[in-house]
Structure 1
Amino acid sequence: MAPLADSADTAALAPLVSAALARARSPVREAPARWLLVDVAAQRLWLLAGTGALASWPVSTAANGVGGESGSFRTPPGWHRVHRRIGEHAAHGTVFVSREPTGEVWHDETRDDDLILTRILTLEGLEDGINRGPGCDSLERYVYVHGTNHEDALGTPVSHGCVRMANADVVELFDRVSEGDPLVIVAPGPGAMPNPRSDARFHYAGVGGSGMSALAQFQAMRGGRASGSDRGFDRGERPEARAQLERLGVTLFAQDGRGAEGDCAAVVVSTAVEEQVPDFAVAKRRGLPLVHRSEMLAHWVAETRSVAVSGTSGKSTVVAMTFEALRGAGEDPSVITGGELSALQAEGLWGNAWSGAGPLVVEADESDGSLVRYQPAIGMALNLSRDHKTESEVAAMFATLRGRTRERFVCGEDHSLGALRDGALVFGFGDRADVRGRDVEPGTHGSAFTVDGVRFTLPVPGAHNVENALAAIAACRALGVDAARIVAPLAAFRGVARRFQSLGSARGVEVVDDFAHNPAKIRAALATARLRGARVLAVYQPHGYGPTRFLREDFVETFATELREQDRVWMLEVFYAGGTALRDFSSADLVRDMTERGAKAEFAPSREGLAARLAAEAREGDLVLVMGARDPSLTAFAKDVLAALRG
């Protein structure tokens, strides 16, 4: 019988178990009745019953470290299952080649070659893209647990990818496991993310951002420990946002690396966080897990009955509508999103996170490709157009999301989503839609429509919002919530901050603040503005050099074709949040192209004096539309315009 490790090793087991169960793609959320855990850092294999240790043995994992890539000669991380038990009753030291005994027996002689001896447990990966699937499949890589002729090296990572054991040990292990038993390989670093519900402190670098702040709040709401830093907070910006985080128990540090010191167990980063950020550098120096924002979100998505909403336009609004519909129907949902829900803001919250006991509704972002990490119960693809990536790239990500969806996939009737529609729950206005909007009555401040004989009213304008509501109705249907139960919640929908948000009117001129930042969203915003304004006076700030460079011609085309003869647009300089972005053009270049196409466009190098100029230009019946993303000060500018109108 193999002895247990000493007490120090046994004490270290609990965080390993937590890390294994907290993996974003873990197929289990509770410790199995019998399972195996390979601790790469300690070079030890544990046989466990629930969270208790039955036995442990020294092992050798790969000399090249941890990784699932084919040809890497690394040990694959994550969850597997024992696929086959090979070699039962074989003599001690039996040599295997291609999983078959050769007839040769090793008798403790010194040999340099790497023999596979005595017993074999083949491993089948259970985590797509990590240890299962093209280019990383553990079974196809022939990764085993097996006996070795290099027993003197056990406790040191020297293998070519397999997990080596002493021959007597592998016999004992073999006799105590069955095919199908789970085995997880836990590695130090990002692969060993602590349990977010535990006492482990997660530090969010850039916690002032919409996505990061939502995750920090949600973790705190779920009983975990969260801290954060943000250079905007260091400059004294947005004190109300800082106060909202602190009220939830999120500890805030200066962004100087101190947040990643002390009892910090993991640092959460986003694609926007660069390695030069002190928190990032300290985490790397200390060897802390660096957890991408999407990995954290994937954890929450996988552990709940979740709805992941993807699409190049409308995600935040559909998330908000779905959340409010479920809440009004008594389903007690949770939400993690990039938009700020007015209903939650009315309760004194930031507005982008809430933790309930029911389904979790999240925004699944395609801009950095992170949506392919998620395994939701209900997956959704609303629409598809060029935004941060090409249409073919985004379509491939949507296909991956569909393949990882656990229950039902929902998609729009957009022709570009055709490959996803077979077997999906389709929403829209056409004959192919399962959730079909009929008898639509658009209005300047809302719309009415019918689905399967049930009449809905929406207090937000625009045809795109009717389509957003159809998506929310489809999501609720996929969760088993009848349309009749969500009529009242959708009629009372409070909206999302900066989604065609009217800030008020003065002198007969309405001022609207909108998040529109890609061509499709700008078209929708301008179309809705035309319903309300005799003239549209638009102000647009491109939200980054990379996206604007990628979509430059699309932006020019959109404004040139969507602005009427009487409409005008002022374009602010491209938003720059710092960092290493290549700033090789100006908004003035886009304005030049737009004016050549006949649009009434003007470059505004700064906001100074622009609010007063807009107020002087505007006349009764006009609508001022401020558009842009990422820059929280745009709302303040829109309010300045309203103040200037009021005199």
Structure 2
Amino acid sequence: MQGGKHIHLIGICGTAMASLAGMLQAVGHRVTGSDNAAYPPMSEQLAAMKIPVYEPYREANLEPRPDLVVVGNAISRGNAELEYVLDQRIPFCSMAAILHDEFLLGREPLVVAGTHGKTTTTSMLAWIYEVASRTNPELAPSFLIGGVAENFGTSFMVRDTHPFLIEGDEYDTAFFDKGPKFLHYFPDAAILTHVEFDHADIYADLPAVKTAFKRLVNLIPRRGRLVAFDGSENVTECVAKAFCTVERYGFAVDSHWRVSGMRHDATGTHWEIARAGEPFASMTLPMPGEHNALNATAAAALAAGQGVPVAAIVEAIASFRSVKRRLEVRAEVGGITVIDDFAHHPTAIRETLRALRSAYPGRRLWAVLEPRSNTLRRNVFEDALVESLALADEVVLAAVYQSGNIPEAERLVPETVAARLHGQGTPAEVHEDAAAIVAAIAPRLLSGDVVAILSNGGFGGIYRLLPEALESR
């Protein structure tokens, strides 16, 4: 499209949709949007860009009539604006489709995919390219990330250069396109971090998830590259029939990118990388967690294979500042540290708690969980959730978010999770909402405690309520 069109985004406060809104505005379009509930960090990013966000959904939000409507993947039939778009025959498309047509054609798409780690890994990759562009401006990246990268202060960037780095989401595309978003991106090269059963609302089982990733792998051209984790049989299966070069990364002795000598201290995580059996780099990352070191290794491997100098890679990882809502310290009050983490899956919770154990050794660790994602709201993941939460010293669960949207037979029962944790020796309790949780735990928190708040949403404002309660003690 030529610049200057009026484009309206239904569901604009989703991470990818808010990023797309900024990208469209950056190339000259007039952008508006609507949502049911806006919350940080994307609401703040949209406000900073002065993009109007209308709440709630209603037909009047589409007057004057836009030239094009982008329908978010959370929007389904019955939505007032979507019904008006269909009735009035206003042109519409998905986020992934317009991203491909307007921004990826003619560029070098580098896609980061996987059940876990893709937001952090994409942010690391973007920062590597940014550091490298100081000596080679042609490497300055455009990117779209499913979170706000702290080094940039934004989740997107649009430039005239060739590299375009994008987080490849396996979730479905729109109500009219039930395939994964990443099948629209046609990568020149890609990273595959992990493959696990997730998104039980749209995938029937693990084989269905693996089929989606196999289709992504099948889109990479013969001249392309795929950097794939070596510690997962599911990943091995998904990359087995790739036509491109496949380079594995991880701890295996025979991996192309081998990690060794990992150690943690107060400054972060340190390790060595060997490339095809030869020393490649000594790495330092100012973040805790084995999983973050593996994410950094994947980003380093893809960048190096695309010609980014080793020195730029090492400098970028050493100066990486994380992503908002990934192990983000939200407050420190009276010696109590409040952490915000975007928990969406039991494995992500496990790795977050393991990372916090290494970062805060000897301190009492609280896990405060809102079962909000479509994965965590379902009892099919109960066993894995109990196992992950048992890594904490104290566990607090909220009620299942919008529980009525999950069939009762499939719905997670937080009281059952708490009872199972109690049976294993981990104190656990359930409270209805954020206010009740704060009232229950704020008087009991002690100096030295670390509180990990785990949710992929706003969690009733608990990130503000808990520090306020601690301040007022």
* TM-score in terms of structure 2 length: 0.85
Query: CA separation of 1:595/1:577 partners in 2, compared to 1, >3 Å: closer, same or farther?
Result: closer
Query: Does residue 562 of structure 1 match 2:367?
Result: no
Query: Does residue 404 of structure 1 match 2:222?
Result: no
Counterparts of 2:105 and 2:29, CA distance in 1: 17
Query: CA separation of 1:546/1:464 partners in 2, compared to 1, >3 Å: closer, same or farther?
Result: closer
Deviates more, 1:426-435 or 1:533-542: 426-435
From 159, 182, 202, give the equivalent of 1:356.
159
Stretches (4+) displaced over 6 A: none
- Look up the SS of the partner of 2:377 in the other structure: helix
- Look up the SS of the partner of 1:484 in the other structure: helix
Deviates more, 1:538-547 or 1:506-515: 538-547
User: 1:308, 1:376 within 8 Å by CA — same for their partners in 2?
Assistant: yes
Partner of 2:397: 571
Counterparts of 1:436 and 1:545, CA distance in 2: 34
Query: Does residue 418 of structure 1 match 2:236?
Result: yes
Query: Does residue 213 of structure 1 match 2:18?
Result: yes
Give ranges in structure 2 of 5+ residues lacking alignment: 134-138, 173-179, 274-278
Counterparts of 1:595 and 1:462, CA distance in 2: 27
Query: Does residue 333 of structure 1 match 2:141?
Result: yes
Counterparts of 2:151 and 2:211, CA distance in 1: 34
Counterparts of 1:569 and 1:325, CA distance in 2: 37
- Aligned residue identity for 2:110: V
User: 1:412, 1:427 within 8 Å by CA — same for their partners in 2?
Assistant: yes
Query: CA separation of 1:201/1:303 partners in 2, compared to 1, >3 Å: closer, same or farther?
Result: farther
Partner of 2:37: 232
1:180-579 alignment to 2 at 5 Å? 195=1, 197-232=2-37, 244-245=45-46, 248=49, 250-254=51-55, 255-299=57-101, 300-330=103-133, 331-345=139-153, 351-358=154-161, 359-368=163-172, 369-388=180-199, 389=203, 390-406=205-221, 407-413=224-230, 414-419=232-237, 420=239, 423-444=245-266, 446-451=268-273, 452-531=279-358, 532-533=360-361, 534-544=363-373, 547-549=376-378, 551-559=380-388, 561-563=390-392, 567-576=393-402
Counterparts of 2:373 and 2:117, CA distance in 1: 20
Counterparts of 2:188 and 2:117, CA distance in 1: 20
Counterparts of 2:385 and 2:184, CA distance in 1: 34
CA shift for structure 1 position 289: 2.9
User: 2:9, 2:33 within 8 Å by CA — same for their partners in 1?
Assistant: yes
Query: CA separation of 1:554/1:217 partners in 2, compared to 1, >3 Å: closer, same or farther?
Result: farther
- Look up the SS of the partner of 2:147 in the other structure: coil
Counterparts of 2:218 and 2:259, CA distance in 1: 27
Measured against aligned partners, the alpha-carbon deviations of 1:410-434 in whole angstroms (never above 9, x if no partner) come to: 2111232113166312221222322
CA shift for structure 1 position 288: 2.4
Counterparts of 2:146 and 2:443, CA distance in 1: 34
Measured against aligned partners, the alpha-carbon deviations of 1:379-409 in whole angstroms (never above 9, x if no partner) come to: 2211111221433222211111111124222
CA shift for structure 1 position 514: 0.7
Query: CA separation of 1:508/1:490 partners in 2, compared to 1, >3 Å: closer, same or farther?
Result: same
Partner of 1:603: 430
- Look up the SS of the partner of 1:477 in the other structure: helix
CA shift for structure 1 position 598: 4.2
- Aligned residue identity for 1:416: N
User: 2:396, 2:429 within 8 Å by CA — same for their partners in 1?
Assistant: yes
User: 2:386, 2:417 within 8 Å by CA — same for their partners in 1?
Assistant: no
- Look up the SS of the partner of 1:562 in the other structure: coil
Partner of 1:120: none
Deviates more, 1:504-513 or 1:411-420: 504-513
CA shift for structure 1 position 617: 2.0
Counterparts of 2:264 and 2:24, CA distance in 1: 40
CA shift for structure 1 position 479: 2.1
- Look up the SS of the partner of 1:608 in the other structure: helix
- Aligned residue identity for 1:291: C
Structure with the bigger RCO (C-alpha within 8 Å, sep 6+) is 2
User: 2:377, 2:403 within 8 Å by CA — same for their partners in 1?
Assistant: no
Counterparts of 1:546 and 1:360, CA distance in 2: 30
From 640, 643, 647, give the equivalent of 2:465.
640
Measured against aligned partners, the alpha-carbon deviations of 1:535-578 in whole angstroms (never above 9, x if no partner) come to: 21110001145652154323443246434xxx110001122399
CA shift for structure 1 position 267: 1.5
- Aligned residue identity for 1:424: V
Measured against aligned partners, the alpha-carbon deviations of 1:492-535 in whole angstroms (never above 9, x if no partner) come to: 11110110112243333222111122011000011112221522
- Look up the SS of the partner of 2:67 in the other structure: strand
- Aligned residue identity for 2:417: L
Query: CA separation of 1:552/1:341 partners in 2, compared to 1, >3 Å: closer, same or farther?
Result: same
Counterparts of 1:204 and 1:365, CA distance in 2: 18
Counterparts of 1:597 and 1:363, CA distance in 2: 38
Query: CA separation of 1:353/1:401 partners in 2, compared to 1, >3 Å: closer, same or farther?
Result: same
Query: CA separation of 1:502/1:560 partners in 2, compared to 1, >3 Å: closer, same or farther?
Result: closer
- Look up the SS of the partner of 1:231 in the other structure: coil
CA shift for structure 1 position 464: 0.6
Partner of 1:122: none
1:35-50 alignment to 2 at 5 Å? none
Counterparts of 1:624 and 1:293, CA distance in 2: 35
- Aligned residue identity for 1:265: D
- Aligned residue identity for 2:248: V
Aligned length: 437
Query: CA separation of 1:446/1:263 partners in 2, compared to 1, >3 Å: closer, same or farther?
Result: same
- Look up the SS of the partner of 1:393 in the other structure: helix
- Look up the SS of the partner of 1:264 in the other structure: coil
- Look up the SS of the partner of 1:220 in the other structure: helix
